[in-house]
Structure 1
Amino acid sequence: MEKLVSSWGNNVKALPHNYIFPPELRPGNNLKISFTTNIPVIDLSELENHHHRFQTIQKIIKASEEFGFFQVINHGVDINLMKETRKVMKELFEMGDEYKQKLYSEDPLKPCRLYTSRPTYATDDNLHLWRDSFIHPCHPLDQWQHLWPQNPTKYREYVGACSVEVKKLASRMLRLISEGVGLECEYFEKGGLSGSMLVSLNHYPACPEPSLTLGVSKHSDPNLVTILLQDYVSGLQVLHNGQWIAVEPLPDAFLVNVGFQLQIISNGRLQCCDHRVVTNSSDARTTAAFFVAPLDDSFIEPAQAFIDEYHPPLFKSFKYKDFRSYYIAEKGDTEVVMESFLA
């Protein structure tokens, strides 16, 4: 397929012109940032100790306030399941072009599709990302799994099992966050606030000129919370205090990312954070981002627990589908999107 980077990217010595970003947007020399400043790592096994539980929850809240990102270890998801899921994800992008052609679609309304660059490839302004993605809903599993591809043969089995475990992990993290900020424990399980989950498998082939392009442009996630399953190749960078910091991929960790909706519901206490993906010239990188989001008609507004005479609501009330539509129309521009929903 002439559009999918995974089909032709390994055969080029120089970037095509429509993958070269303007100088002010290129990563340039920021490709190999050291891990000296890294996002927090939270050991969830410490929650089992009564004396450590409070401190662990406070670490989660502090990371969500300061970074908008943290990694979790000892999270309870089977390590072999994570390994097999990574394996079958990579197999999907290694399938033959004829098969990938059947999965490919530029129709944003198609629930299960393979695309390249951005979901809005057809209106990309002729500037493309060095990335292929395969996206589909994965919760509730029985509603969507029959639409998933039958090849690779273990795809439905492992991605399905992993989706169930990740949804459990996301619900657990949201309950811990609720406890840490003074909301009722099941706050995010009501009103459809965490009723949807999509998975986006992202594949970034080795790139001939990584300093000139991006795998993903700077953005913040529009949903509630994102759980990322990484492989062992670095590429994710988070903007912190005006500086890009690299996120070291820990072997058996999940990355937790605060989304726009969590920032809005917390009335700005918890922060979604701009991030991007850089490529490299030697290794392909494949990840799975599980986007936990409200249902379309869910009503979003700052929770009453964060509002008093000294802390008025910072954001408007809205339906999630209206936010998402505006986010897509503005191509995820953080400043524009956030400003439009300020109270």
Structure 2
Amino acid sequence: MEINDDDHVSRRWFNVESVPKSHVFSDEDRPGNQQIPLCNTIPIIDLENNSSNLSETIIQACQEYGFFQVINHGVSEDVISEAMKVMEEIFNMPVEEIKKEVSNYSSGWVYMGSTSFAAKGAHLWRDNLKHPCHPLDECMHRWPRNPPRYRDVVGAYIKEIRRLSLVILELISEGLGLEEGYLGGISQVQFLTASNYPVCPDPTLTLGLLNHFDHSLITILYQGNVEGLQFLKDGKWIGVEAIPNAFLVNIGTQIEIISNGKLRSAAHRVVTNQEAARTTIATFINPSPDCIIQPAKLLIDEDNPPIYQPLSFRDFVNVSKPFGPFTDALQNGVCTLKK
């Protein structure tokens, strides 16, 4: 099946018996035939546990893995289920409706359809929708109007994720020894990315998402019941277990900088699946564009000098690479290590 530009706004081009050349990554980037184990030791944090060491457990998880999962988080299963259903509806809309939504929101606030740019020479194996989602009253009017219930359903989901993000950021602040509200106070922007990774005829050749770091404060991901996310630890890829009704939280590069390297953002990627499609909803919790990101003063002393230079979040994102190690950004003069 030949792929043309129009096909990049629909799922139609995924209905193939083999991976097209346009989606085959180089030997260096593709998953290949290696067997990737599932990690069953990533900490699962029960947010209803009032134990005094809850924040300490989160900090340890962030130091060892850069990831942790949260349960009993207060987001109802109904809210999550409806959000996932409406995302599946939008990814299954007719081609004409998807193209209409794309043309209605050409400002860049909303992007729909399969990834149309080539990352490292190949297209990603996914359909993707992305838009800002907080402050809610400033964003919702630019969201898709179809399906008709999209705004109500996703609005309810985002309200709960905003509440959850503030709880998590406060626990991280506490664990780092920062003043109350430190991280929550700079988390002014949220961005939603929903992705659908269709069944792939040969997962060894392509990727749903390349190896990258999230340039957020934290990312909160609901990954449904199908695994696909992998993270890099000690030079080896490890799969992340999909736990029903749990949210996966990963540390972004902004908290790595604020913590002066005490917490580490983990490189991760998304692989495809030959048996089942996968739909996910990721919410990126970001500083405002003009917020100056730098090591927190409370974490700096003679024994722990700042290792990152101050830089606005906007400048960091504009210069850093979308795919590739965080060290690329360091080497390119972004947050350069101080001598």
Do Structure 1 and Structure 2 share a fold, with TM-score over 0.5?
yes
Displacement of 1:36? 4.8
State the match for 2:45 in structure 1.
Answer: 42
In the TM superposition, residue 283 of structure 1 has moved relative to its aligned partner by 1.0
Q: Establish whether residue 138 from structure 1 lines up as the match of residue 136 from structure 2.
A: no
Aligned counterpart, 1:337: 329
Percent identity of paired positions between Structure 1 and Structure 2: 43
Q: Which amino acid aligns with 2:254?
A: Q
Using the alignment, how far apart are the partners of 1:14 and 1:131 within structure 2? 15
**Residue 294 of structure 1: aligned partner:** 287
Hey, what's the Cα distance between the residues in 2 that align with 1:122 and 1:292?
Answer: 24
Provide the rounded CA distance (Å) in 1 between the counterparts of 2:117 and 2:171: 40
Structure 2 stretches of 5 or more lacking a match? 1-5
Distance (whole Å) between structure 2 residues aligned to residue 301 and residue 125 of structure 1: 30
1:53-95 deviations in Å (ceiling 9; x for gaps) = x222211110011111000000011111111111111111000
Q: In 1, distance between residues paired with 2:250 and 2:79?
A: 21
Q: CA deviation at 1:21?
A: 0.9
Q: 1:100 is matched with which residue: 84, 98, 101?
A: 98
CA distance in 1, matches of 2:198, 2:14: 7
Q: Is the 8 A contact 1:198 1:292 kept in 2?
A: yes
Does structure 1 conserve the Cα–Cα contact (< 8 Å) formed by 2:117 and 2:123?
no
Q: 1:128 — aligned with what?
A: 123
Residues 221 and 249, structure 2, Cα contact 8 Å, conserved in 1: yes
Of the three residues 295, 298, 303, the one matched with 1:305 is 298
| 1:216 matches 2:219 | no
> Does structure 1 retain, via aligned residues, the 8 Å contact 2:224–2:245?
no
Does the 8 A contact of 2:24 with 2:122 survive in 1?
yes
**Who is 1:178 aligned against?**
173
* Gap change, CA 1:301 and 1:178, over 3 Å in 2: same
Which residue number in structure 2 is paired with residue 153 of structure 1? 148
Are the aligned partners of 2:215 and 2:252 in contact in 1 as well (CA < 8 Å)? yes
Q: 1:19 aligns with which of 6, 20, 23?
A: 23
Once the two structures are TM-superposed, the CA of residue 215 in structure 1 deviates from its matched residue by 0.4
Are 1:111 and 2:109 matched, yes or no? yes
Distance change >3 Å, CA 180–CA 41, structure 1 → 2 = same
Deviation at residue 129 of structure 1 after TM alignment: 0.8
Distance in 2, matches of 1:331 and 1:217, equals 6
Tell me which residue corresponds to 2:68: 70
Aligned partners of 2:11 and 2:114 also within 8 Å: no
- Deviation larger for 295-304 or 333-342: 333-342
Gaps of 5+ in 1: none
Q: CA deviation at 1:145?
A: 0.7
Contact 1:5/1:130 (CA < 8 Å) preserved in 2? no
Do structure 1's residue 29 and structure 2's residue 22 form an aligned pair? no
Asked if the contact 1:267–1:315 (Cα under 8 Å) also holds between the matched residues in 2, the reply is: yes
Give the superposition deviation at 1:332. 4.5
Shift of the alpha carbon at 1:153? 2.0
Whether 2:169 is the aligned partner of 1:165: answer: no
Cα 1:141–1:332 shift into 2, 3 Å: farther
Shift of 1:37: 4.2
State the one-letter code of the partner of 2:38. F
RMSD: 1.7
CA drift at 1:34: 3.1
Deviation sequence 1:125-156 (CA, Å, 0-9, x none): 64111012100111011111111112112211
Deviation at 1:208, TM superposition (A): 0.8
* Structure 1 Cα separation of the partners of residues 315 and 46 of structure 2: 36
Of the candidates 4, 13, 18, which is equivalent to residue 8 of structure 1? 13
Distance of 1:70 and 1:76 partners within structure 2:
17
Number of residue pairs aligned between Structure 1 and Structure 2: 329
AA of the residue aligned to 1:317: P
1:198-277 to 2 correspondences below 5 Å:
198-277=191-270
